[in-house]
Amino acid sequence: MTWEVAIFWVAVLSLVVALAYGERRRRSKVNQQKSDEERLRLAGDQIEGHPDLVVSFKWVGFHHPPPNPGSPYVQAAIVFRILNNGKRAAHNVHCEIRLDEKRLEPNDRHHKNRDFYTPYMERKATKAYSKNVGIRVYGPTEAHYRCAWDEVGETEGVIEFEVPEKSS
């Protein structure tokens, strides 16, 4: 056998090994992709069955001014609606709502402002939550919220709303 023939057979053998290896990798990738798709599908099915909290603006309620107001601003409660729009109950729900303090000053005069908390919120349940403020500026403003609960869930966002002037 000559060197040329030996080199030819080595090249053919190398080509066959490379093709077999490539086919094996292709099949492995296809199987991995199917496995990844199945995991995503299962995760989606699980998420659909979890709580889903939605926070929205409800209204502004003005407080009657106390005899010694302690603040030059009109006092009000900004009321939000917290809805469990999911397919399951939520446990240990905790929501933080932060207002634009350039427009609304937090005020504990009528009762202490605390973050929203409830140990249990059934599906489709709605709860009201208010923040007491002194109104620095009337008009459009926004609130940033973040809610978390035990069932591996968290939601956050921005609520845009309008603070009307108090009618006399």
Distance separating alpha carbons of residues 88 and 26, to the nearest angstrom: 41
pLDDT tens by residue, 2-32? 888 888 888 888 888 888 888 888 888 888 8
Model confidence, pTM: 0.67
Split into its structural domains, the chain has a count of: 2
**Both 64 and 32 in a single domain?**
no
In a domain, 168, yes or no: no
- Range name among 30-34, 72-76, 97-101, 162-166 with the lowest pLDDT average: 30-34
pLDDT at 54 over 70: yes
pLDDT at 158 over 90: yes
The domain spanning residue 94 has which CATH number? 2.60.40.10
**Both 33 and 67 in a single domain?**
no
pLDDT tens by residue, 96-119? 999 999 999 988 776 788 999 999
**Final residue in a domain of this structure, among 48, 69, 86:** 48
Determine how many CB atoms are found less than 10 A away from the CB of residue 86.
21
**Both 4 and 64 in a single domain?**
no
Residue among 96, 111, 105, 91 at smallest CA distance from 141:
105
Q: Which domain holds residue 94?
A: 53-163
